[in-house]
Structure 1
């Protein structure tokens, strides 16, 4: 027998399993169901994240509005105090009887004005820092939660 005939005879004895279409259909169905389930889970996570982000933005805008009002009121109060102090000083200057008294009043006014300006600047810094922290807190919390969830997944 020739080499070709021997090889052909060997291949003729090889058996292939029969193709069972029902098993393939079941496997395809299981694969598709798993894909649908994973898609539903991903959609639920995305929807939940979007809702949390929306709530965080709403909270941020409400906080920004409240903080803006607080800063405006603080500014108005500071301006009112400075105006009243200026008018009181002007009244005191008109009541001065000598040049030395005017110089003394002016020196005291400038010293007190500088001290008041420093105090007001510290108050504004504290209010502004608190405002920035309050406004950014909701968004910061959402980002921290999101990154924590990503690390878990």
Structure 2
């Protein structure tokens, strides 16, 4: 137990001598800085630079927020457009599957080759018409998606050019 007591006493005396040395440091002349006044012109330039930096930061921040909003809008538009196209494709697949099922059901009930050929011709014509309509619907949805995606970008560039012309 006496050993532990002497160690504690030594560490206390060591820390007190360290604090005395650090207290003496500020009085040491090699580390003291000469007192000098900054000229008013330098202060004005520094303040002006700081003000310009803040303005530039605000403009950059505003532009970044607008770009982020535009990207978020584009992602949402893309998501909705792709969902619409997928829904249209699923409806087309269902309609084509139902038509094929009905055709095969009818083919099992034919009594002659001429009736089968007539049924096949009618089915092919109706499927061609359905495919034409489905392709037109998909094209309209794709065109709408492309237009909707281009609109925010077009608006952003128009605003940017307007801001450039104003400056």
TM-score normalised to structure 2 length = 0.70
Please, which of 135, 146, 151 is the counterpart of residue 149 of structure 2?
Answer: 135
Between the aligned partners of 1:66 and 1:52, the Cα distance in structure 2 is 21
SS of 2:110's equivalent in the other structure is: coil
Task: Return the structure number with greater relative CO, CA threshold 8 A, min gap 6.
Answer: 1
Cross-structure match for 1:70: 84
Please, which of 26, 31, 49 is the counterpart of residue 35 of structure 1?
Answer: 49
1:152 positional shift: 1.5
Cross-structure match for 1:85: 99
Between the aligned partners of 1:104 and 1:41, the Cα distance in structure 2 is 78
- Show structure 2 runs of 5+ residues with no match: 1-38
1:27 positional shift: 3.7
Please tell me whether residue 56 in structure 1 is matched to residue 70 in structure 2. Answer: yes
Cross-structure match for 1:47: 61
1:112 positional shift: 1.3
SS of 2:133's equivalent in the other structure is: helix
SS of 1:116's equivalent in the other structure is: helix
Deviation per residue, 1:56-106 (Å, 9 max, x gap): 111111221111211111111100000001111111111122111111111
- Show structure 1 runs of 5+ residues with no match: 1-24
Cross-structure match for 2:119: 105
Deviation per residue, 1:116-137 (Å, 9 max, x gap): 1111111100001111222333
- The question of whether the paired residues in 2 share the 8 Å contact of 1:60 and 1:135 is answered with yes
TM-score normalised to structure 1 length = 0.76
